[in-house]
Amino acid sequence: CGVRRSQLWSPYSTHTQLIKSLLLGPLMGASTSKKPSVPLQEPQDLSLRRQDATAVPSDSDKSEDSERTANVSGHEKAALRPWTCSPILGFQPKEVLTLSDLTRLLHRPCDPAALAATRVMFGVLMMLDVPQERGLGVADIKWGDPDICHFPLFPHFVPLPLPYMVLLYGLMLLCLLMMTVGWRWRVSCGVFLVSYWYLFLLDKTYWNNHSYLYGLLTSILLVSDPHRCWSVGSGASHVPLWNYTLLRAQVFLLYFLAGVKKIDQDWLSGYSMQHLAQHWVFSPFRVFLSNDNIDYFVVHLGGFTLDSLLGFLLFFDVTRTTGLVFGAAFHLMNSQIFSIGMFPWVCLATLPIFCSTSWPRPILATFSSLLSAPGKGLQSTVLEGNATGNAKETTGSEDEEKKPETVKGEDNEKIIKALERNPNCYYGENGFVTRRQKATTVAVLAYLCLQLFLPFSHFITKGYNTWTEGPYGYSWDMMVHSWDVLHIKVTAVTATTGDVLYLDPNIWVKSKRWTSHADMVVQYGQCIEQRLASRGIHVSSLHIDVWKSLNGRFQQRVFDPNVNILKAPWNPWQEVRAGQ
C-alpha cells in the first residue's frame, strides 16, 4: 500500500498526520509533510478543529491541504479507507482506547445552541407539569388532609404542611422560569432538582417512568452547561461534548430499555394493552386491519419494534430523518391516547438533541429580529454531526469528497468571537488532560453504567418484588402490566374486646396501587393502625384480602388474608414469600 507498518502505527509519524488529513480533510487542517524522517507534534488547535463548534478552515488552509492531498497516490487512499469509522460512529476506535483518549474525545468543544434549545423547551414544559402531575392544581386534596396515607420511599420523608407545600410549588415555578432564561443556572436548577426529588420520593403511588425521567434529565442539565448560550447574564461559549453524550445516551436508553422490557410473553402475545384500537388515532389502520389485528400488530409488535430501534435510528446520520418522523408520530399518538401529562412533549423536545449541535441557528436566523445574542442573524457554521457531536468525515478522492458548508469573511469572524473558550473543554494546547477532566469522564461512565444496571437490579431489592419486579417507576417497563382490582377487604381486630372491624379500603388513600406491592401493603397497615389509634381504637391485628387480575388473566388472590400485616416481617433485601 505504500505505507510501512512502522510509519502506520507511529502516533506522531508523518503518515499518521497524512491519515488525519485524508480522513478529516479541511476540518482538521492538519499540517503534513512529504518527508517521513522528522516526527511532527500535534497542532495546538487540533482538538478544536475536529469539532463542529467553531473551527472553520481558512482559504489558505484549504489550498494547502488540497495541494498535499493531491500528492497522495490513489492506492494509498484506498488502503486507508477501510480503517475509517468516523462517518458511522463519529469517532475513531483509537480515540476511546485509553482514559486519556476518551477524555479528549468527551471534552471536545461543541456549539451550545442545541443544548440551550433543550434547556428552554424543557423549562417551559416543566412549568406546565408542576400544576398538573406534580400536583399544584390539587395541592389541597393531595396534601391538605393530614389523615391521608402516603407511601414514601424512606420512612422519615413526610409532607410539609399545606401552606409550605404551596410555597414549595411556587419556588419550583420560579426556579423553572430562571432555568428557562438561563439566569443563575446552577442555583436555580439545583433548587428545582432538590424540590422535585423530594416530591417524587414522598409517595410511591404516584411513581411512573416519565416522572423518573424528568428527574434524570434535570440532573444531567444541572451538571452540564446549557446556559452557555442565549442566557441572561452569560455570554456564548463552547460546551464539552460529554454534555451532549449524557443527554443522548439517556434518551437512547429510554427507548432501548423500554424495548428490552417488552421482551415479555404478555406483551409479545398481545395481552398487555387491549382495546386500544378503538381510539380514533388508529382510524387509518382500520382501512386494512381489524381492531384485534391493530391491537396485536400495531400496538404490541409495532411498539416493541419502535422502542427497540428508535434509539439506533436517531443515532446514525443516514437514518436520523426516519427516526425523527417515526418518533414524532409515536409521541403525538401517545399524547392523544393516554393521559400522561408532558411526557410525549418532553420526548418530542429531546428528539433534536441527536441532530447537529447547531440545529437551532438556521431556524433562528430566519427570525433575526428576535435574536439578541452575539452572532445575531448568522447562519450556522457547524457541520452536520452525528450522535456523538463531531463533524462528518469523508474519504476518497477529491472528486468524491463532499465539501463542508461554511461561511466566510466577517460572518466567520463574528461567530468565532461570539463563542468563547470554556475551561471545561479540551483544546489540545499541551496535549494533556487535567485530573478534573479525567474525573468527569469516569463520572460519565459510572452514570451510564448505573442507568444500565438499575432496571435489572431487582434481584438485589427483593422486598419490592411481588407479582412484578420492583416498584413501578424506574424500570422502563412502560405499559407492560395492566392491573384490574376486583376485590379488596380490610379487617382489623381490636386489642381490648377482639371485635372484628371492616374498614372501607378507599378511606385515607387516594390510589389503589398499594394493593399491588408488598412494601406498600406494610406501609398501609402501619398508617391504618395510627389513624385508628388517634381515634381511640387500638387494634392487635390487621388483615388484607386482595384479588386482582394481571393483563387479562383470571382473578387471583395476592396476599394471604390470614397474615397479620402489622406483624409481617418485611425487608427490602429479602424475598417476600407466601405466608408472610
**Which residues, including other chains, have CB under 8 Å from residue 477's CB and lie 6 or more apart?**
209, 258, 261, 264, 455, 468
- What's the one-letter identity of residue 334? N
pLDDT in tens, 291-335: 999 999 999 999 999 999 999 999 999 999 999 999 999 999 999
- Give the mean model confidence (pLDDT) for residues 33-43: 37
Rounded Cα distance between 453 and 448, Å, is: 9
Higher pLDDT, 177 or 6: 177
Average pLDDT over residues 240-264: 95
Ramachandran region of residue 79, left (φ > 0), alpha (ψ -120 to 50) or beta?
Answer: alpha
Burial class (CB in 10 A: 0-12, 13-18, 19+), 247: buried
Q: Tens digits of per-residue pLDDT, 414-456?
A: 554 568 888 999 888 777 899 999 999 999 999 999 999 999 9
pLDDT at 72 over 90: no
Flag whether pLDDT at 9 surpasses 70: no
Task: Please name the residue that has the C-alpha cell 502505527.
Answer: 9
Statement: residue 35 has pLDDT above 60: no
pLDDT tens for residues 132-150?
Answer: 999 999 999 999 999 999 9
Provide the whole-model pTM.
0.79
Q: Which of 90-94, 134-138, 230-234, 295-299 has the lowest mean pLDDT?
A: 90-94
DSSP states along 215-257: HHHHHHHHHS-GGGSSBTTB--B-EEHHHHHHHHHHHHHHHHH
Q: How many CB atoms lie within 10 A of CB 85?
A: 15
**Using CA atoms, how far apart are residues 148 and 127, in angstroms rounded to an integer?**
27
Q: Which of 229-233, 382-386, 537-541 has the lowest mean pLDDT?
A: 382-386
pLDDT at 361: 86
Q: What's the whole-number mean pLDDT along residues 62-72?
A: 43
pLDDT value of residue 364: 84
What is the average pLDDT score of the chain?
A: 80
Would residue 262 show up in a list of annotated catalytic residues for this protein? yes
Measured in Å, how far apart are the chain's first and last C-alpha atoms?
73
Average pLDDT over residues 389-415: 38
575: which residues sit within 8 A by CB, 6+ positions away?
462, 463, 465
- Give pLDDT tens digits for 481-509: 888 999 999 999 999 899 999 999 999 99
pLDDT for position 436 = 94
Quote the pLDDT of residue 160.
94
Q: Inform me whether the pLDDT recorded for 83 exceeds 60.
A: no
Split at pLDDT 50, 70, 90, the class of 87 is: low
Residue 365 confidence class, pLDDT cut points 50, 70, 90: confident
List 262, 392, 403, 408, catalytic entry: 262
Q: What is the DSSP letter of 373?
A: S
Higher-confidence position of 73 and 430:
430
DSSP lists the bridge partners of residue 550 as 483
Q: Give the length of the chain.
A: 580
Torsions phi, psi for 543 (to 5 deg): -125, 140
Residue 86 pLDDT class (50, 70, 90 cuts): low
Percent of the chain with pLDDT over 90: 57
Q: Is 31's pLDDT higher than 90?
A: no
Mention every residue, 6+ apart, whose C-beta is less than 8 A from residue 146.
none
Q: Check pLDDT > 90 for residue 78.
A: no
Q: Which residue has 442539565 as its cell numbers?
A: 221
pLDDT of 10 above 80: no
What's the 3-state SS for 454-491?
HHHCCCCCHHHCCCCCCCCCCCCCCCCCCEEEEEEEEE
Question: Rounded to the nearest 5 degrees, what angle is found at the Cα of 95, between the Cα atoms of 94 and 101?
Answer: 120
Structure-block grid coordinates of residue 568: 409481617
